[in-house]
C-alpha cells in the first residue's frame, strides 16, 4: 500500500451531516475502452472537466470536508490534477492499492486514514455514478434509522442487468439478489445505485490484504450477521457512466442541466465550448455537445449530443452525433460519426461513416472512405 497524507485535522460530524467521504476510483473501466486506455474512468472529461470533479463538487455542497480517493489503475494521474483539493474547498488524500483490492477491499485499505469517530457516518461513492441524489437525505436516513450502512437505491425499468435490493416496509434491506434470470426472480425494481453511508466501524472491520467485493461479499455478509442495512429509494437523476453510450449521455445531461453539478464550467444554451476551442461560425453544436480546450471545429460541421475532447479536430462538413471524440483525435471532412467512440489520437479520414457501437482504438488511422455503412448487410 502506498499512502500520501495531508496535514492531520480532526473531523467532526453533526447529526445529519457527513464530513468525510471515500471515493472508489481504482477500477480499470474495461467497458469504457478505449477511453480508459490512457485515462482512468473518473478522469475522462464530462462537460469539460474530469468526471470526478462533479462528484467532488457535489460532496462538498453536501457538507463533506475531506475525501479519501481509493486509487489503483493509473493512480498517478489523480494527484497532479486535484492536488490537496483546496481549489475545490476540500482536503484530499490519495491511497493507492498496489494490486486492485475490489470495491470492498479498497474501503478496508483506506480505513486507517479516516478521522471520523467509530460511530460517525462516512459517505462512500462509486467513482462512475452521475446522480442528483440528495446526499443530506441519505445521511439523515442513516442517522434516524440507526443503520450500520445506508444505501442509495434507484428504480430501473428493466432490472435484469442488475443485482436487486428488496426492502421491507420500513426501508430495511431484506436481501441482496444476483441478476435475475427468470421473470419470477424479479421481486423488486430497486437496485444498488453505488452511493452509501457507512458507520465508520463497519469499514474498519473489512478484511485487509485481499480482494473483497462490497456488493457480493461485504453487504450480504453483514446482512447474514444481523447488521442493519437501510435502503433509501431516491428516483432522482441516476446514470452509471460505465459504457461509452452512457458516458456521452451523462456529459450531455450535465451540459443541459438535467444532471445537477456545481462544477460545469459554464454553458451557452445547450452546448459548452471551452475558452480555447475554435469553432467555425457556421458549425452547428446542439443537444449538450461539449467542445474541449484547443479543439477545432470546421465549417459547416454539425455536432449533437457529443463530447469532443481537448485538442480534437472535426473537419468541415462532418456530422457527429451521440459520440465521443477522444483527445487529439481527428475526424475527416464529411465523415459521419453516430453513436461511436473515437479513441485519443485516432485519425478518421474524410468520407467515412461510423455507426452505433463502433470503437476506433487510440492512435488508429482509417484512410479516407474506408468505412461505409450499409443497411443491406
Ligand atoms: P468495468 O471494468 O468497466 O466494469 O469498470 P470498473 O473497473 O470501474 O468497475 P466497476 O464499474 O464495477 O467499479 C465500480 C466503482 O468501483 C468504480 O468507481 C471503480 O473505479 C471502483 N473500483 C472497482 N474496482 C476497484 C478496485 O479494485 N480498487 C478501487 N480502489 N476501486 C475500484
d(CA 277, CA 70): 33
Judge whether residue 315 has pLDDT over 90: yes
Residue 161 pLDDT: 85
Confidence label for 5 from pLDDT (cuts 50, 70 and 90): very low
What's the pLDDT at 371?
84
The answer to the question of residue 236 being in a domain is: yes
Domain assignment present for residue 210? The answer is yes
Q: 373 in a domain, yes or no?
A: no
Give, using CA atoms, the residue closest to atom 9 of ligand 1: 27
Q: What are phi and psi of 20, to 5 degrees?
A: -125, 140
236 and 272 in a single domain? The answer is no
Domain housing 287: 266-366
| Residue of the CA atom closest to atom 14 of ligand 1 | 126
Cβ neighbour number for residue 262 with a 10 Å cutoff: 12
| 119 lies in the same domain as 229 | yes
Which of 243, 277, 309 is at the close of a domain? 243
Closest atom of ligand 1 to CA, residue 32 = 3
Q: Percent of the chain scored above 70 by pLDDT? A: 94
Closest CA to 22 of 132, 89, 116, 142: 116
179 is catalytic: yes
Look at the chain and report how many structural domains it folds into. Answer: 2
In the chain, pLDDT over 90 holds for what percent of residues? 85
Q: Is the CB of 256 under 6 A from ligand 1?
A: no
The whole-number average pLDDT for the span 238-250 is 94
C-alpha 145 – ligand 1 centre gap (Å)? 29
How confident is the model over 196-213, as a mean pLDDT?
A: 96
Probe residue for ligand 1, chosen from 1, 23, 26, 246 as the CB with the greatest number of ligand atoms within 8 Å: 26
User: What is the domain-level CATH number for residue 46?
Assistant: 3.90.550.10
The angle at the Cα of 109, spanning 23 to 22, to the nearest 5 degrees, equals 15
Whether the pLDDT of residue 1 is over 50: the answer is: no
Number of the ligand 1 atom closest to the C-alpha atom of 31: 3
Calculate the CA 223 to chain-centre distance: 27
Each residue of 331-340: pLDDT tens digit?
Answer: 999 999 999 9
C-alpha to C-alpha distance for 127 and 80, rounded to whole angstroms:
18
Domain boundary among 176, 209, 243: 243
Nearest C-alpha to atom 12 of ligand 1 is from which residue?
Answer: 27
pLDDT at 375 over 70: no
Torsion of CA 199, 215, 193, 262, to 10 degrees: 60
Q: In this structure, are 20 and 157 located in the same domain?
A: yes
For the CA of 100, the nearest atom of ligand 1: 27
Residues 179 and 304 in one domain: no
Instruction: Give tens-digit pLDDT for 36-80.
Output: 999 999 999 999 999 999 999 999 999 999 999 999 999 999 999
71 and 208 in a single domain? The answer is: yes
Amino acid at each position: 500500500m502506498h499512502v500520501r497524507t495531508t496535514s492531520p485535522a480532526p473531523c467532526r460530524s453533526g447529526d445529519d451531516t457527513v464530513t468525510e467521504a471515500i471515493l472508489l476510483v481504482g477500477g480499470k473501466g474495461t467497458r469504457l475502452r478505449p477511453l480508459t486506455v490512457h485515462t482512468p474512468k473518473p478522469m475522462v472529461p464530462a462537460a469539460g472537466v474530469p468526471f470526478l470533479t462533479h462528484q467532488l463538487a457535489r460532496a462538498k455542497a453536501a457538507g463533506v470536508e475531506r475525501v479519501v480517493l481509493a486509487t489503483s489503475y493509473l493512480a498517478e494521474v489523480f494527484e497532479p490534477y486535484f492536488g490537496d483539493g483546496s481549489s475545490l474547498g476540500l482536503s484530499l488524500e490519495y491511497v493507492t492499492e498496489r494490486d486492485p483490492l475490489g470495491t470492498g477491499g479498497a474501503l478496508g485499505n483506506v480505513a486507517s486514514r479516516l478521522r471520523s469517530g467509530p460511530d460517525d457516518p462516512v459517505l462512500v461513492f462509486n467513482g462512475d455514478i452521475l446522480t442528483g441524489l440528495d446526499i443530506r437525505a441519505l445521511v439523515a436516513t442513516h442517522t434516524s434509522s440507526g443503520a450500520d450502512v445506508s444505501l442509495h437505491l434507484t428504480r430501473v425499468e428493466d432490472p435484469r442487468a442488475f443485482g436487486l435490493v428488496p426492502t421491507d416496509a420500513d426501508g430495511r434491506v431484506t436481501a441482496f439478489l444476483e441478476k435475475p434470470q427468470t421473470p419470477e426472480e424479479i421481486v423488486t425494481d430497486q437496485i444498488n445505485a453505488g452511493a452509501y453511508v457507512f458507520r465508520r466501524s463497519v469499514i474498519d472491520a473489512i478484511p485487509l490484504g485481499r480482494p473483497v467485493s462490497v456488493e457480493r461479499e461485504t453487504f450480504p455478509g453483514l446482512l447474514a450477521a444481523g447488521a442493519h442495512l437501510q435502503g433509501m429509494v431516491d428516483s432522482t437523476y441516476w446514470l452509471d457512466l460505465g459504457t461509452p453510450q452512457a458516458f456521452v449521455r451523462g456529459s450531455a445531461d450535465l451540459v443541459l442541466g438535467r444532471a445537477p453539478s456545481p462544477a460545469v464550467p459554464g454553458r451557452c444554451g445547450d452546448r459548452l465550448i471551452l475558452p480555447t476551442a475554435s469553432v467555425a461560425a457556421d458549425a452547428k453544436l446542439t443537444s449538450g455537445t461539449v467542445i474541449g480546450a484547443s479543439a477545432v471545429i470546421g465549417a459547416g460541421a454539425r455536432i449533437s449530443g457529443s463530447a469532443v475532447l481537448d485538442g480534437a479536430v472535426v473537419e468541415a462538413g462532418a456530422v457527429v452525433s451521440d459520440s465521443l471524440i477522444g483527445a487529439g483525435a481527428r475526424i475527416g471532412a464529411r465523415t459521419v460519426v453516430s453513436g461511436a467512440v473515437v479513441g485519443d489520437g485516432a485519425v478518421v479520414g474524410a468520407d467515412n461513416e461510423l455507426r452505433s457501437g463502433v470503437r476506433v482504438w487510440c492512435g488508429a488511422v482509417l484512410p479516407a472512405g474506408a468505412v461505409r455503412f450499409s443497411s443491406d448487410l
